[in-house]
Amino acid sequence: MKPTNSTLAQYGTTIFEVMSRLAREHGAINLGQGFPEGNGPAPVVAAAAAALTDISNQYPPMLGLPELRQAVAAHDRRFYGLEVDWATQTMVTSGATEALAACLFALIEPGDEVVVIEPLYDSYLPIIRRAGGIPRSVRLNPPDWSLPEAELTAAFGPKTKLILYNTPMNPSAKVFTAAELALIARLVQQWDCYALCDEVYEHILFDGRQHIPLLSLPGMAERAIKIGSAGKTFSLTGWKVGYLTAAPALIDRIARAHQFLVFTTPPNLQAAVAAGLNQSDEYYTGLIDEMQAKRDRLAAGLERCGLGVLPAEGTYFLSIDVASTGFDGTDEAFCRYLTQEVGVAAIPVGAFYASAAAPGGYARFCFAKRDEVLDEAVARIAKRFGRA
């Protein structure tokens, strides 16, 4: 038989699925794959249920329901002061994952270079490569995850088509600083290219930090594409509703990829996400307060066990230094051991690096869980690794 596509054949099942399966098999508390434990905000879920009977269940417009696109534009104005014309500058996608794929297929010509920042979310590289792009990686390393200016500058060149980055950043929980974003904007202008900004955690930033979309920086209106996700902003990861904001010419091209990938997204979920985005500021501050309290709870619990916890500036993830547990082995071996023997699943941070020499010794936990679940996870870890 002839081989199937060789680019995709290189990739196994994603680490998130692998660890969730292992957690199920061993009855472990799943702090691995990133998903909140609850069932999402009740008014948003109720809006989806009502829309199933109240509005059409047939194909909605290819770019998305007008009410959701208007809500995206209003959201961008409310939080970032962006002037967005909903009819030409927004588009609805089937999750951020589809948004990323549509953008990469729309922008990349075979042989184009794409600057990516490791650690990176697992869908980036396969799609870049499948589109014929050549990734140019810049690595961030724990514990400080700072963006190395010289290396980033060297990664850009005449063949660069775009940079793809993620802030707040999964799995590092880093929030890019204003200076780092200004550097990215400068390089994007200098090399006349685009920026694909994965901002799915835009509403989960801690300790008073403010999210800065690259799109809001001078000179970026025509070049930056902003991606958001209802999965993260409304803790509804199973819905797979995402949204894009970009210049009209870019939306036009991205839509050409989107129409051949999925064409559209379930209408009742779109209507409900519109209601979600239009919620009052209290919803958004409540999300931050809730997640920050959970971060503090898990971090304090792990620190009480004597473990080295890295700072978490945003997202719902935090990482520990495996060496601080006394475990002798790789991050992957540690996460398997923790799942099978201790009953708590985590994700090895090395899985987010493509290069061979990934920093091996860190494990990521998702803290978007009920307090009792976090406490039980800490109790299990304390029993095995605790020094107290």
Binding residues for ligand PMP (CB under 6 A): 34, 95-97, 121, 166, 170, 198, 200, 229, 231, 237, 240, 242
Task: Spell out the alpha helix ranges (H) of the chain.
Answer: 6-9, 15-26, 42-54, 66-80, 86-89, 95-107, 124-130, 149-155, 178-190, 230-233, 248-261, 267-277, 281-304, 331-337, 371-385
Nearest distance from residue 382's CB to ligand PMP, in Å? 28
Site for ligand GLN, residues 21 to 40, rule: CB under 6 A: 33-34
295 binds, among ligand PMP, ligand GLN, none (CB under 5 to 8 A by kind): none
Q: d(Cα 214, Cα 272) in Å, to the nearest integer?
A: 27
331 binds, among ligand PMP, ligand GLN, none (CB under 5 to 8 A by kind): none
Site for ligand GLN, residues 110 to 149, rule: CB under 6 A: none
Among 166, 170, 172, 292, binds ligand GLN (CB under 6 A): 170
Tell me the residue number closest to ligand PMP, measured at CB. 95
**Residue 205 DSSP class:** B
60 binds, among ligand PMP, ligand GLN, none (CB under 5 to 8 A by kind): none
Nearest distance from residue 168's CB to ligand GLN, in Å? 12
**Residue 163 DSSP class:** E
Q: Based on CB atoms, which residue is closest to ligand GLN, 178 or 261?
A: 261
Nearest distance from residue 101's CB to ligand GLN, in Å? 13
Contacts of 4 (CB under 8 A, 6+ apart): none
Q: Based on CB atoms, which residue is closest to ligand GLN, 176 or 194?
A: 176
Residue 235, interface with ligand GLN (CB under 6 A)?
no
Q: d(Cα 7, Cα 4) in Å, to the nearest integer?
A: 9
Tell me the residue number closest to ligand GLN, measured at CB. 34
Q: d(Cα 318, Cα 304) in Å, to the nearest integer?
A: 15
Among 16, 79, 80, 283, binds ligand GLN (CB under 6 A): 16
Characterise 95 by phi-psi region: left (phi > 0), alpha (psi -120 to 50), beta (else): left
Nearest to 352 by CA among 223, 198, 154, 226: 198
Characterise 350 by phi-psi region: left (phi > 0), alpha (psi -120 to 50), beta (else): alpha
**Site residues for ligand GLN per CB under 6 A:** 14, 16, 33-34, 170
